[in-house]
Amino acid sequence: MDKHIASICVLGCFLLMGGAVTPCNAQFSDFNLRKELARHDLSEVEKKVAEFAIEYDGSAEAVYVQAVLEHDAQKAMELYNRVKVEFPDSPLTAFANFQMGHYYFARGLYISARRFFLEVIEKHSDSKIVPDAMYFAAVCMCAARKTETCRTELENFRKQYRSSPLARLALEDLSEIGVAALPAEKLQRVVSASEGKYTLQLGSFSQTNNALNLRNYFSKLGFQVEIREIVTDGKTNYAVWLGAFRTKQAAQTFGDKLKKDHGKPYRIVSK
């Protein structure tokens, strides 16, 4: 990666986190990037942040900081992945996914990039970068020329996050593909047909948390999703159902598209 581009990535990363080295650890809270940039040039700021990484070696924050300071893109990716593997419960894991998504997007690997953005939505629903991840997940579909999915997700993003700075960009994106302010009516009619007797079962879990995570993942993308308790031989499972379809063929057509776009398996069941 070009050193100048990498430096911009460093700035963008910290600005995304509100100007602090980390949003989750008080030991870094006194470092404000904006103030430091007003007093020092980038090399001085990088030096100071590097000192933090050394002082707090072994922490999620230290590994993450090393990643954003790394000018070699491949090494940076290895460090981001280390954050994910070693610190799965850290809020910084969401940011690591976000940065990895941008890495793949910049290289034209849009479907791979999208998986990282979707992981932010699915596994880190409380993170403040969920709206950003939702927007960029949709943009990946635009870049991959999956116009229908792109259109639907951008419109859903605008509905859910009207106050987001990215909402205006989403509107511009929609304008460019000729669907400005157009609700995804066709998709909603297919998925939400109340009289439909078939639905897509996306999973069945013994633990409610697993079912809730899957439901929230698709709900944030604007789909009609519900959880149903199913008792078999005295054992309760929690099934995640998406949509209502009049025919099995309609359910299969939509399910295949859903699996292709989101990588989630399904089976067709009667409601």
Q: Which two tokens stand for residue 156?
A: 């859903």
Q: Quick one: CATH architecture of 188-270?
A: 2-Layer Sandwich (3.30)
User: Tell me: the pLDDT tens digits for 37-60?
Assistant: 455 566 666 677 677 767 777 788
Residue 3 or residue 155, greater confidence? 155
Q: What are phi and psi of 168, to 5 degrees?
A: -65, -40
User: Tell me: the pLDDT tens digits for 138-178?
Assistant: 999 888 888 888 888 998 898 899 888 888 888 888 877 75
User: Tell me: the pLDDT tens digits for 228-271?
Assistant: 888 888 888 999 998 888 788 888 888 888 888 788 889 999 87
Mean pLDDT of 194-209: 83
Mean pLDDT of 7-24: 38
Q: Tell me the domain boundaries of the chain.
A: 3-90, 135-185, 188-270
pTM over 0.75: no
Which are the contacts of 159, defined by CB distance < 8 A and separation ≥ 6? 222
Please tell me the distance from the alpha carbon of residue 256 to that of residue 259, in angstroms, as a whole number: 5
Mean pLDDT of 109-124: 92
